[in-house]
Amino acid sequence: MSIREKFIIPKRYNTISIALMVIGIIAIAALYITHGASKDPHEQARFWASLLQNSVYFLLVVNAAMFFICATTLAWGGWTLVFRRVPEAISTVVPVIGVICFLILMAITFGDNHIIYHWADTEHVKHDPVLLHKSGFLNKGFFTVVTFLTIALWSFLGWKMRKLSRSLDEKPLATVEERKKYTWNNTVWSALFLVVFALTVMSSTPWLWLLSIDAHWFSTMYSWYTFASTFVAGVALIALFVVFLKNTGYLELTNDEHLHDIGKFMFAFSIFWTYLWFSQFMLIWYSNQPEETIYFVNRIGNSSHPGAYEGIFWLMVIINFLAPLLILMRRGAKRNYTTVTFMALLILFGHWLDFYQMVFPGPSPDHVPMILYDFGVALGFVGLIMFVTGRALSKAPLLAKNHPFLKESVIHHT
């Protein structure tokens, strides 16, 4: 079997990614002209909310690729090795969207518009006892430092993991002892990444970037929920690139067995997301305490207050739970390129909608803004991910050919 090691970016791929980025820029420009440049602070906030939702969502999704690598490395999983370079390439997007996201977060925090982050309005906080109480955590200095460190650490540790993987390309490991040492080294760095991941994605990051939009509200589940949402979307993104590369004649050693297992991850973590979604929703509904239910009242409403986001809310539950449950349960579905592609796109869209209803009811509680703009912005980010990932794929060999567990992956059976 001959193996094509180098990915050559097809012309059409390049054109599409650039076209999508252009659409994104046009959408941002249009959104700025129609809303961002307005004098009405609510209109301005609508502009920034779109940038916030998209940049945070896509940053967490591409970062999930590195989480996938580290989690499987730490568990000594061998099956992912034949397509390992795919999540590695996706993770190169982290610093790029990281910078964009950082700039947007800074603009929202330090700008004059406080509709999104009420807590950033120092005058207002003085008269708001709840926000005053939280100001030890929700303040501009802390927010900036933690945000900066978070993005920098993800980028650095991701780079380190990729470097470790690349280091074997030219230098095969001859003895079992050397391989053990390499595996050990990999394990240590993955563990470090996971510790940082636990302290950021699974706790502080969603609190600062997203939970603080509804600054009075609180929920201990929030960060784990956000993690589940972006992890399953991250796996879907990996699936898309794997299918794309297979269809263009690359990844010769990846076969239905690997796709099947990626499909299982999409299925399992969709259910896991639902589990966390249900736990958060049901416990708040059951206890019925106004300071907690307000979050859902703003989204789906109650008997005295219609919720503008009701449609989006239930639609995303259907997309993120019912669709994967019913469609991905069958064995054949997880081994079918078309079904996996369709489901991966659906999951990415479903969790994007989830983020939409997490961000927008804060700045725009009474009506759903014109969502077409946000689609445009999202397409821009998709183009960017395609562009940067494509570059990364073309730079490194597509196969981590000297990895100690690669042979296990070649004969992998689900």
Partner 1 sequence: MGLLRYESQVRPPLVDGDKDYHQVTEDICRPVEAKPSRLWWIGFLISVALLAFGILSVTMEVIYGTGQWNLNKTIGWGWDITNFVWWVGIGHAGTLISAILLLFRQGWRTGVNRAAEAMTIFAVMCAGQFPIWHMGRVWDAFFVLPYGNTRGPLWVNFNSPLLWDVFAISTYFTVSLLFWYSGLLPDLATLRDRAKLKWRKMFYGVAAFGWTGSTKHWQRHEALSLVLAGLSTPLVLSVHTIVSFDFATSVVPGWHTTIFPPYFVAGAIFSGFAMVQTLLVVTRKVLALEEYITLEHIEVMNKVIILTGSIVGIAYLTELFMAWYSASPYEWYAFKENRLNLSSPYGWSYWIMMGCNVLSPQIFWFRKMRRNLVLTFFMSILINIGMWFERFVIIVTSVYRDYLPSAWSTYYAPTIWEVGFYMGTFGLFFTCYFLFSKFFPVIALAEIKHILKKNGKNYKEKMDEVEKESLTEFSEKHGHDHGA
Given the rule CB under 8 A, which residues bind partner 1?
A: 1, 3, 76, 78, 129-130, 133-134, 137, 176, 179-180, 183, 191, 198-199, 202-203, 207, 216, 218-224, 252-257, 271, 275-276, 279-280, 283-284, 286-287, 289, 291, 335, 399, 401, 404-408, 410-411, 413
CB of 223 to partner 1, least distance (A): 7
Between 141 and 249, CB nearer to partner 1: 249
The two structure tokens encoding residue 256: 């239905």
Between 214 and 374, CB nearer to partner 1: 214
Least Cα distance to 82 among 244, 242, 233, 240 occurs for 242
Between 102 and 117, CB nearer to partner 1: 117
CB of 279 to partner 1, least distance (A): 4
CA distance 353 to 411: 38
Q: What is the dihedral of CA 128, 133, 137, 143, to 10 degrees?
A: 10
Between 15 and 167, CB nearer to partner 1: 167
CA distance 220 to 260: 34
CB of 411 to partner 1, least distance (A): 5
Using alpha carbons, list the distances in angstroms from residue 275 to 162, 191, 312, 320, 334: 33, 26, 19, 11, 21
77: left (phi over 0), alpha (psi -120 to 50) or beta: beta
Torsion over CA: 315, 317, 322, 325 (sign): positive
Between 176 and 372, CB nearer to partner 1: 176
CB of 155 to partner 1, least distance (A): 22
Between 308 and 358, CB nearer to partner 1: 358
The residue type at 186:
N
* Residues 285-306 as b or e (16 or more Cβ within 10 Å = b): eeeeeeebebbbbbbbeeeeee
With residue 240 as reference, give the H or E element that holds it: helix 222-247
CB of 307 to partner 1, least distance (A): 20
CB of 78 to partner 1, least distance (A): 7
CB of 171 to partner 1, least distance (A): 15
Between 26 and 153, CB nearer to partner 1: 153
Between 221 and 315, CB nearer to partner 1: 221
Between 67 and 102, CB nearer to partner 1: 67
Are the beta carbons of 399 and 253 closer than 8 angstroms? Answer: yes
- Exposure of 195 by Cβ count < 10 A (0-12 exposed, 13-18 middle, 19+ buried)? exposed
CA distance 281 to 215: 18
Between 133 and 305, CB nearer to partner 1: 133
CB atoms within 10 A of CB 395: 12
CB of 218 to partner 1, least distance (A): 4
CA distance 139 to 107: 14
In this structure, what DSSP letter does residue 7 have? P
Q: What is the dihedral of CA 61, 63, 65, 71, to 10 degrees?
A: -120
Using alpha carbons, list the distances in angstroms from residue 338 to 83, 228, 264, 311: 19, 24, 15, 28
What Rg do the C-alpha atoms of the chain give, in angstroms?
Answer: 22
CB of 203 to partner 1, least distance (A): 6
Between 55 and 223, CB nearer to partner 1: 223
CB of 153 to partner 1, least distance (A): 17
The two structure tokens encoding residue 235: 């796996």
CB of 69 to partner 1, least distance (A): 17
